[in-house]
Amino acid sequence: MEDLPHMAIQFDVTTGIFSLETNGSTYQMQADRHGCLLHLYYGAPINGPADYLLTFYDRGFSGNPYDAGTDRTYSLDALPQEFPVWGTGDYRSTCLTVKRPDGSCGCDLRYKSHSIRSGKYDLPGLPAVYDTAEQCTSQTLEIELEDICGGLSVTLLYGVFPELDVITRSAVVKNTGTGNIFLEAVQSACLDFVGGEYDLIQFYGRHAMERNYQRSPILHGAMVIGSRRGTSSHQYNPFVIASERGANEDHGDCYGMSFVYSGNFTCTAERDQYDQTRLTIGLSGGQFSWPLAPGECFTAPEVILSYSGRGLAALSHNYHRTLRRHVCRGKYRDIPRPVLINNWEATYFDFTGDKILEIARRASGLGVEMLVLDDGWFGKRDNDSKGLGDWQVNEEKLGGPLSNLVETINGLGMKFGIWTEPEMVSEDSDLYRAHPDWAFALPGRKPVRSRHQLVLDFSRPEVVDHIYGQLCRVLDSANIEYLKWDMNRSICDVWSAAGDGYGCGAILHRYVLGLYGFLERLNRRYPDLLIEGCSGGGGRFDAGMLYYAPQIWCSDNTDAVDRLFIQYGTSFGYPVSAVGSHVSAVPNHQTGRITPMKTRGVAAMAGSFGYELDLSKITEEETACVRRQIADFHKFWPLIHDGDYYRLSGPSRPDCQRAVAAWEFVAQDRSEVLVNLVSLECHGNPPDLYVKLKGLEQAALYQDESSGSLYPGGALMTAGLPIPRPTVEYESWQIHLRRA
Ligand code: GLA
């Protein structure tokens, strides 16, 4: 038995079983008698081998590998696998499709060797979970598989984080042969369940209404979600959960898969002929085809796996902790982000330097800490039909150099941030006039326009370098402490005029690598710059972007009530610290809804907090409310940022009242809790509503900070807390309780 001090990864040479242990889970696989790597088990911790779960029967139309000889009971069509491949007898959704130089498809991977080491592997050029030097308890397992006929090897990578209850996976495919091959699909992880009934929980949406919760049974047939839009997309998020049929927020087995990638992806959930369930996620879906020359390697983006035997809340906590501390980087990972004011919904393109200063002055007087100058400050960008690609300050519009404006804003005690959209170009721009071939377009065809704009070919290093140079000149010209990185259309017309022979199936992955390379350079050159990701709001809200930008504008929909639903769905896989959320004007610009100022603040405080409205147009009462909100946000920040987030209402809580949206932040030591309530319905003479709190200390008493009332922790969790009766539509409450 080989093992390391913490025993997180063990290998038993006699059985060929690998056991990966976290505090709350065991993951087992076996290099079996044929050298096939079979998946055995993922779930609650166990202390023995789980190979007894494998069953061997002669099953009609389920073929047997040649080297199984006359054994008709051994079939890859039925056995659970770790990294199933296409073409050699597994007819389910597989992880790898390889096209050989002779046009044949298929490979047959067998165990060759493995190694175990302390620390977490890196993925060059790709975002990945990292360990911190202070805490380093992670371990890495590499398993090398080889095609039975040679010419191809696959190294499976596993990172085990015992305290986080997380296992990461990736795979490196190498062409060890003599001819060019094509990878037609590479899924980064596969989870096979030999029995049980599972639901797929996924987060679908559209622009301005992202990440809606959908739970459906995984039945016979394949359920496929993903993106073909070049970004991870508003439509489907690359975070999914397979949950035991009866699992809820507090009970049951749940498995998460978070794909650490910001481009196209495919996730397949399938129940097979023998009622087994398979879940895979990675690159594929018809748009992917990666040429691999002899000696070259391809690295699959990472997947973060997590298991909770205590329902969805605990699963979310695993992802929150992992993303917040082991994916996000930079100084703003741990310190409060400045409360910001963004001018977009206040002015759109219609502003001058003086108007921006007026907004900054008013905001700074109320306690706002940073002004973000949104779209329209560069080139001839007075509307959305022009200017993208010309990242030169429009000094005429600003009334002088950017540095003057920034100095004045800094003089108010505020930081300054700026909007950009580096991946895009307008046809009406100097950049496009000089380099029309830098935008994606199919040969001989006019490209599809979206928001009047075209997409720059970020698969070409010279394009990336040019935009990088332009942005650095702006960033170097003034004290800019925040950058909003936007991306406002879906990609199509995928063709690289550079014609380097890669083929269109490789361009979009190379595009994402170009984007990551750019963001990595920015992070290194400006280590203190706070970057906020954005893609028409939350069109690229994924763990990959969080590696470069610790917060992402969650949605272009700033309506407080719609945001409750968007942020609810987002909370399953992402921490509150990742959610960009602003208080905006009413009637709301997206929905026309009118909500109280207080409610807009309560909703925005479940995120990186800010404002996006003309503060000179609000009432005195609202002004006082803004001051209080900012003070409250500072006071509650440690609880919001580092506390455990619990969903107390919502579609996954059928036991809960639907008339109220409720969520809660609980300090890690359970000494404090902030309960947030927003009334969604108003009726005459309504029945009383109670909300059951979570995560408190059963035997402790908790005291309401404002009323002084004392409540037994056990009662708050079992019987609940009475919700005040609303007196106006969409009224909200924040109740702060401390352990007495
Ligand atoms: C996108 C963003 C908005 C705003 C506009 C500017 O839609 O999501 O927040 O920055 O672009 O054009």
pLDDT of 1 above 50: no
Q: Domain check: are 182 and 53 in the same one?
A: yes
Nearest CA to ligand 1 atom 2: 536
State the distance from the centre of ligand 1 to the C-alpha of 124, rounded, in angstroms: 31
Atom of ligand 1 nearest to the CA of 484: 10
Is residue 379 lining ligand 1, measured as CB closer than 6 Å? no
pLDDT of 6 above 90: no
Q: Report pLDDT for 682.
A: 87
State the distance from the centre of ligand 1 to the C-alpha of 309, rounded, in angstroms: 40
Determine, yes or no, domain membership for 292: yes
Is residue 488 lining ligand 1, measured as CB closer than 6 Å? yes
Domain end call among 274, 293, 326? 326
Q: Report pLDDT for 2.
A: 46
Task: Kindly report, residue by residue over 562-615, the tens digit of the pLDDT.
Answer: 999 999 999 999 999 999 999 999 999 999 999 999 999 999 999 999 999 999
Determine, yes or no, domain membership for 605: no
pLDDT band at 342 (very low <50, low <70, confident <90, very high): very high
Q: Domain check: are 54 and 146 in the same one?
A: yes
Mean pLDDT, residues 269-284 taken together: 97
Task: Kindly report, residue by residue over 88-107, the tens digit of the pLDDT.
Answer: 999 999 999 999 989 999 99
Task: Kindly report, residue by residue over 534-561, the tens digit of the pLDDT.
Answer: 999 999 999 999 999 999 999 999 999 9
Q: Which two tokens stand for residue 576?
A: 């509150």
pLDDT band at 133 (very low <50, low <70, confident <90, very high): confident
Q: Domain check: are 282 and 420 in the same one?
A: no
pLDDT of 654 above 70: no
Q: Report pLDDT for 177.
A: 96
Q: Domain check: are 527 and 404 in the same one?
A: yes
Cβ neighbours of residue 159 closer than 8 Å, sequence gap 6 or more = 120, 121, 128, 129, 138, 139, 140, 167, 168, 169
The Cα 541–Cα 227 span in angstroms is 13
Nearest CA to ligand 1 atom 5: 375
Domain end call among 279, 301, 326? 326
Looking at the annotation, which residues are catalytic?
486, 556
Is residue 584 lining ligand 1, measured as CB closer than 6 Å? no
Nearest CA to ligand 1 atom 11: 536
* Secondary-structure percent of the chain, ordered helix, strand, coil, rounded to 5: 20, 30, 45
pTM of the model: 0.98
Q: Which two tokens stand for residue 349?
A: 């393109």
Which residue from 299, 291, 297, 295 is spatially nearest to 99, judged by alpha carbons?
A: 291
Determine, yes or no, domain membership for 563: no
Place of tokens 């050989």: 100
Helix (H, G, I), strand (E, B) or coil at 603: helix
Nearest CA to ligand 1 atom 1: 536
Contact 187, 283 (CB under 8 A): yes
Q: Domain check: are 305 and 351 in the same one?
A: no
Q: Report pLDDT for 99.
A: 95
Domain end call among 278, 296, 326? 326
Residue 537: phi and psi, rounded to 5, are: 85, -125
Task: Kindly report, residue by residue over 346-377, the tens digit of the pLDDT.
Answer: 999 999 999 999 999 999 999 999 999 999 99
pLDDT of 655 above 70: no
Angle at the Cα of 250 from the Cα atoms of 248 and 253, rounded to 5 degrees: 65
Determine, yes or no, domain membership for 633: no
State the distance from the centre of ligand 1 to the C-alpha of 367, rounded, in angstroms: 24
Is residue 533 lining ligand 1, measured as CB closer than 6 Å? no
On average, the pLDDT of the chain sits at: 96
Q: Indicate the helix (H) or strand (E) that contains 361.
A: helix 353-366
CATH of the domain at 520: 3.20.20.70
Determine, yes or no, domain membership for 620: no
Alpha helices in 158-279 (DSSP H): none
Q: Domain check: are 408 and 299 in the same one?
A: no
Is residue 672 lining ligand 1, measured as CB closer than 6 Å? no
- Tell me which amino acid residue 322 is: T
Is the Cα torsion angle 64, 69, 72, 76 positive or negative in sign?
A: negative
Q: Domain check: are 450 and 401 in the same one?
A: yes
The Cα 656–Cα 645 span in angstroms is 17
Q: Domain check: are 137 and 207 in the same one?
A: yes
Total domain count, the chain? 3
Q: Report pLDDT for 7.
A: 77
CATH of the domain at 31: 2.70.98.60
Q: Domain check: are 64 and 204 in the same one?
A: yes
CA max distance for the chain: 85
Q: Domain check: are 143 and 232 in the same one?
A: yes
Determine, yes or no, domain membership for 66: yes
Task: Kindly report, residue by residue over 134-193, the tens digit of the pLDDT.
Answer: 777 999 999 999 999 999 999 999 999 999 999 999 999 999 999 999 999 999 999 999
Q: Domain check: are 655 and 532 in the same one?
A: no
Mean pLDDT, residues 20-25 taken together: 98
Q: Domain check: are 16 and 165 in the same one?
A: yes
Determine, yes or no, domain membership for 584: no
pLDDT band at 387 (very low <50, low <70, confident <90, very high): very high
Task: Kindly report, residue by residue over 458-516, the tens digit of the pLDDT.
Answer: 999 999 999 999 999 999 999 999 999 999 999 999 999 987 667 789 999 999 999 99
Q: Report pLDDT for 501.
A: 65
Residue numbers of the domain that contains 102: 2-326
Determine, yes or no, domain membership for 130: yes
pLDDT of 656 above 90: no
CATH of the domain at 727: 2.60.40.1180
